Amino acid sequence: MNPSRLVERVQELTDLELAMLLSLAAGQHCIIIAEQDDLDPLEQELHLIASNVFALSHNVLHCNESTTLEDFSDGILVESIHSNRLDNGETGTSMDSDQSSRRHDGRIERSPASPKQPIHTNETESQQNDRTIANVVLITGLSLASENIQIQALERDHIFISHYHSQEDGFANLEEASEWIEDDRASASSVIHRSIAQESSDLVLPHSLTQQEVRYLADQSEKINFTAEIKAYQQNIITFLRLHRAVGNGVSPRATQHLIDLVKYAVSMDIYPSYADINRYLAVIHGQTYVSPSLVALAIHKIYPHRITILEPEAERSIQYGSDLTAVSAVLKGYYPSQVIEEVLASVDIPI
């Protein structure tokens, strides 16, 4: 393995590919958010990324109010012959990962689960059917499913990072796949049509990343160093977030640990050029052994937007000291998590 070449390949990945890489390396869930019109191409793009970039078995599960535990357990399984496929053509135990998502208000949220804690199903039944849990599971509508199913999906884990994908960012793998199969489609007028993602799912691109390479990047994050100044800067941001008048919940100790981990991956993977919103994992991707203030700030944008909840006006602390409820409501009305984060980052002094 050539570490410098590996970092170069990582830098060539798209934002969605990097989001999946970070989630696989960290063994955590990720939410991918998109506008309503982009949900279908987003699903196909993630399908192609799982198969063509990481050569991992994958499945798509659409949840709703009527989804049962049996439906869920069956939906995350794939034929075992595909579950161990690696991009080098060998068979073996691939990294276990899953993705869950929520669809609401015209947006979709997807989250890859921890490879260290795969979702459990009835082992006997799985063996009888010769099926196994997919390495990557893309789940839509998870928030519509029952609480039992949501617990089964996350298994007490928390969402690691969130990423918003706009139409302007494009769907690179989907566009490539469309070009590859255009001629074949033109000549197949009387066959059963499949999605572009399905038709190209057996293709493995030259830049596919192996399980070994993903684990190597994860191991490199342990070598990233935090200086005392960077630790203080990070802690100041967290403190300011907790004390912000608009923040109700979300700035938890687990979020702090996820922030540290993400920074290290970003530095060691050298992902500044193409994925400028990440921090320990960000350090790995950036090919560095140290963490800079800018990486910390960028990682904040991935860790906290899906965690922070805006406070109800009645619970705002100044109400206890006589503030007018109407005035407080007017102040908090325009706040969103992203705005809170921007205010805090602007308020905290950056170490030189």
- What is the structure's pLDDT at 290? 72
CA distance 309 to 247: 6
Q: Higher model confidence: residue 2 or residue 190? A: 2
Query: Topology of 224-347 in CATH?
Result: Helicase, Ruva Protein; domain 3 (1.10.8)
Local structure of 148: helix, strand or coil = helix
The identity of residue 299, as a single letter, is: A
Would the pTM count as exceeding 0.85? no
- How far CA 15 is from CA of 62, 278, 281, in Å, comes to 24, 11, 14
pLDDT of the residue at 283: 64
Mean pLDDT (whole number) for 322-329? 91
State how far the alpha carbon of 57 is from the alpha carbons of 60, 85, 205, in Å: 11, 7, 15
Q: What is the predicted pLDDT for the residue at 325?
A: 92
- For 160, the token pair is 């690691």
What the block records as the tokens of 171 is: 């769907």
Task: Provide the terminal-to-terminal Cα distance of the chain, rounded to the nearest Å.
Answer: 36
Sketch the domain layout of the chain as residue ranges. 3-216, 224-347
Quick one: which of 30, 21, 93, 25 has its CA closest to 57?
93
Report which DSSP code applies to 272: T
Torsion angle in degrees (nearest 10) through CA of 37, 43, 45, 49? 160
DSSP H helices in 49-155: 69-75, 80-83, 123-128, 147-154
- Least confident piece of the model among 25-29, 78-82, 105-109, 295-299: 105-109
Q: What beta strand segments (E) does the chain contain?
A: 29-35, 58-62, 77-79, 98-104, 107-113, 131-133, 136-140, 159-164, 247-249, 309-310
- pLDDT of 13 over the 90 cut: no
Give which of 168, 174, 20 is closest to 101, Cα–Cα.
Answer: 20
Answer yes or no: is pLDDT of 42 > 90. yes
For 159-188, what is each residue's pLDDT tens digit? 888 888 988 888 988 888 776 555 555 554
Of 236, 248, 245, the closest CA to residue 300 belongs to 236
> CA 162 to CA 66: how far, in whole Å?
27
- Indicate the range of 119-133, 190-204, 226-240, 325-339 predicted with least confidence: 190-204
Beta strand extents in 73-216 (DSSP E only): 77-79, 98-104, 107-113, 131-133, 136-140, 159-164
Are the beta carbons of 308 and 337 closer than 8 angstroms? yes
Structure tokens at 337: 């998590």
Q: Cα(217)–Cα(38) distance, rounded to whole angstroms?
A: 31
